[in-house]
């Protein structure tokens, strides 16, 4: 990575970190779910350290324990939104792809994402119904 690219990446990460800090502060004042706040803080740490695996591991663990096991729908809603975004990106790529093998793989990913969305929506609905 050139010095100029490294500087641009640093500046972008600094900007993103500041945005996350503002979002975390605002969310804390508004009483947002503490598990979601922790995930956002982990994202900021990852950006500051250049270690995206840290945030990914925190998110995965928080979703597994707090989202699914503890029945906190906020993390599941966030996962649902991220899954929907990925699904739309896959669908857009599918629409312009000409390679049939790649289209088949994308179709499998579309089906998997669609099923995941249905499972998340069901889990969120069940958790909200019991609260």
Per-residue pLDDT of the chain (131 residues; tens, 9 = 90+): 688 888 998 888 888 888 888 888 887 787 777 878 888 889 888 988 889 999 999 988 887 777 766 667 888 888 899 899 999 999 999 999 999 999 999 999 999 999 999 999 998 888 778 76
Contact assessment for residue 33 and residue 53, using Cβ atoms and an 8 Å cutoff: no
Look at the chain and report how many structural domains it folds into: 2
**66 and 106, same structural domain?**
no
Q: Show which of 19, 43, 70 is a domain's final residue.
A: 70
**Whether residue 63 is found in the same domain as residue 106:** no
Q: Do 129 and 82 share a domain, yes or no?
A: yes
Closest CA to 52 of 9, 90, 87: 9
Range of the domain at 27: 1-70
Q: What per-residue confidence (pLDDT) applies to 44? A: 86
How many Cα atoms are found within 13 Å in the side-chain-facing hemisphere of 33?
Answer: 17
Last residue of a domain, one of 17, 46, 70: 70
DSSP-H helix ranges across 30-99: 34-49, 52-62, 73-96
Identify the pLDDT of residue 123. 86
Instruction: Output the pLDDT for position 23.
Output: 83
pLDDT at 1: 67
């Amino acid at each position: 990575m050139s010095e100029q690219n490294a500087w641009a990446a640093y500046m972008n990460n600094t900007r993103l970190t500041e945005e996350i800090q503002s979002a975390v502060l605002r969310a804390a004042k508004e009483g947002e779910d503490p598990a979601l706040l922790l995930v956002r803080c982990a994202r900021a740490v990852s950006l500051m350290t250049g270690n995206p695996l840290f945030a990914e591991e925190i998110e995965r663990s928080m979703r597994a324990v707090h989202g699914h096991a503890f029945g906190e729908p906020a993390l599941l809603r966030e996962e649902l939104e991220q899954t929907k975004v990925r699904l739309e990106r896959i669908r857009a790529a599918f629409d312009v792809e000409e390679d049939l093998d790649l289209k088949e793989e994308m179709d499998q990913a579309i089906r998997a994402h669609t099923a995941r969305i249905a499972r998340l929506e069901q889990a969120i609905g069940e958790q909200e119904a019991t609260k």
